[in-house]
Amino acid sequence: MAENGLLEVPRGLDKVVVDTTSIAATDKDGWLIYRGYKATELAAKLHFEKAAYLVVYGSIPNDAKLKRFSSFLESNSSIDGATDEVIGLLPMDAKVIDGVRSVVSMLPLRQKKPDMQMLEMAAKMPRIISNCYRAKRSMKPLGCIEGNYAERFYYLLTGKEDVESARYFERLLILYMEHEFNASTFALRVTASTLADPQAAFTTALATIKGPLHGGANAEILNYMLKMKRKSEAVELVDRKLGNKEKIMGFGHRIYKTMDPRAQFIKGQLRTLSKSRKMGKLLEMAEAVEKEMWVKKGLPANLDFYAAIYMYLLGIDEAFYTPIFAAARSFGWAAHYMEQVANNKLIRPDSRYTGRTGLKL
């Protein structure tokens, strides 16, 4: 107990419970669960819309509810001409995630209710991401195609109508969808607790997810993996970076100390995907890095490590990696926004002052 009756907790709120949630958690066996279901099981068996409905509303929808939800996402997925004009004015050297954040902050919304505004922004994310990317490259926006959320999103990223690849992509989206009080979600809840509007909360989360310690690590992972040609180089890279006291992105997690089940699920998917893409050596090198990091540092691979390779094999440009994470996580943000405002209390911690006192002019 600190002075004045305040409770002093670890920096970074490590192992500190700040509130309750019924949306997601890591259970006693180390499995990430969404509303009581293992996230990996949902990724294996459900389409994205059904898993998203579960996260947002707390139950697996019947056919009628799923149809209405899917229809809402599709009908709210477009952006108006004025927004596209703004996208065209973004700096050419801006990262896609920066463009997405700027566009979302000024996006005209049709929905009036706050919860539906959160979902409207989530529905528009694939289109905003695609158009921001293409505008930077002086490419015309892609049209629309028939299909589910993952198929439409995959097309907007690659320009390809490929149901099989979209299904692989969909599994990753589901695993990215939610992860309890992660940095971007907690930041969103802080903003929501001030009773700011949904757009402000959503923008806060987008700003937070860019950081390399949260959502921005997967691009760096791909960069160093593609430079290697054999497993021995993978081991040498780990040893060299550790010797230089450099951080190797894609390893370690605040929650998962021995295994990230999401990473292992995607690695399992990669075994099939890498064979069909004739890229088995890339997976071999990744597993060599994973093994060496466990031996030398006792750190497990996290989802970002294998997700970077996974998206590369699906033909998705590296510039999309962090925005994809944001698009999937936006459904988790919607659930947390609703949960926060339904039982709101301003999130306003105290601090312990360590500066000078008693100064006079």
Q: Where are the domains of the chain?
A: 218-313
Compute the mean pLDDT over every residue in the chain, rounded to the nearest whole number: 93
**Are the C-beta atoms of 96 and 102 separated by less than 8 Å?**
no
CB neighbour list of residue 247: distance below 8 Å, 6 or more residues apart: 241
Q: Does residue 3 carry a pLDDT above 80?
A: no
Q: Calculate what percentage of the chain has a pLDDT beyond 90.
A: 76
Per-residue pLDDT at 223: 75
Q: Directed axis angle between helix 149-158 and helix 114-136, to 10°?
A: 20
Q: How far is it, in rounded angstroms, from Cα 335 to Cα 333?
A: 5
pLDDT at residue number 182: 92
Average pLDDT over residues 23-43: 95
Q: Which candidate, 168, 177, 160, 148, places its Cα nearest to that of 69?
A: 148
| Single-letter code of the amino acid located at 81 | G
What would the pLDDT profile of 65-103 be if each residue is shown by its tens digit?
Answer: 999 999 999 999 999 999 999 999 999 999 999 999 999
Q: Where are the alpha helices (DSSP H) in the chain?
A: 39-45, 48-57, 63-75, 81-88, 96-105, 114-136, 149-158, 163-176, 183-193, 198-209, 218-226, 231-243, 261-276, 280-297, 303-313, 321-342
Q: Smallest Cα–Cα separation from 87: which of 154, 79, 119, 159? A: 79
Contact 46, 173 (CB under 8 A): no
pLDDT at site 357? 96
Cα–Cα dist 207/185, whole Å = 11
Q: Which residues pair with 37 in a beta bridge?
A: 34
Q: What is the pLDDT of residue 15?
A: 86
What is the pLDDT at residue 352? 87
Torsion of Cα atoms, 232 then 213 then 106 then 141, to 10°: 10
- Of the pLDDT bands very low, low, confident and very high (cuts 50, 70, 90), residue 276 is confident
d(CA 213, CA 183): 9
pLDDT of residue 218: 64
Please name which of 151, 117, 40 lies closest in space to residue 334, comparing C-alpha atoms: 117
CATH placement of domain 218-313 = 1.10.230.10
Mean pLDDT of all residues in 344-353: 93
Q: pLDDT of 93-143, one tens digit each?
A: 999 999 999 999 999 999 999 999 999 999 999 999 999 999 999 999 999
Residue linked to tokens 């993996």: 225
> What pTM does this model have?
0.94
Average pLDDT on 200-225 reads 82
Per-residue pLDDT reduced to its tens digit, 243-275:
998 888 888 877 888 899 999 999 999 999 998
Catalogue the active-site residues.
253, 304
pLDDT score of 323 more than 70: yes
Give residue 213's pLDDT: 73
Higher pLDDT, 189 or 241: 189
